[in-house]
Amino acid sequence: MLRSAHDSTVVRSVRNHISLFKLLKGIQMKQLIPSEIEAYAETHSMPESSVCRALREETYRTMEHSQMLVGPLEGAFLKMMTQLVGAKRVLEIGMFTGYSALCFAEALPENR
């Protein structure tokens, strides 16, 4: 039983968020970018490492909501940015299965 108008508002908000989640759940990220642009970016980006590929494949095979994973193109962008700024350390707050953290780690210089 709802106790106040505030409780009713909270319930409505939760229902709206659930409806939005159900709507977005079926949308693939690649639909947001034309396939020609996606193909160009993939062709002109650094290749995915075998370790990143293995982690990505394992994530898709075993994890629910695997679409949350950062993809190879985004991972290549993270690596490039890490190298461009000359980062020696990276702090990533929050992660799914660690794909982006692995991309950062691969781009960092060896610790000497």
Range of the domain at 92: 5-107
Model pLDDT, residue 11: 64
CATH of the domain at 36: 3.40.50.150
Residue 55: name the closest of 69, 42, 65, 67 by CA.
69
Whether the pLDDT of residue 18 is over 80: the answer is no
Distance CA 88, CA 85 (A): 9
pLDDT band at 30 (very low <50, low <70, confident <90, very high): very low
The answer to whether residue 68 is domain-embedded is: yes
Q: Of 56, 69, 88, whose CA–CA distance to 105 is shortest?
A: 88
Angle formed by the axes of helices 35-43 and 72-84, nearest 10° = 50
pLDDT at 112 over 70: no
Q: Against a cut of 0.75, is the pTM above it?
A: no
- Asked if residue 112 is part of any domain, the answer here is no
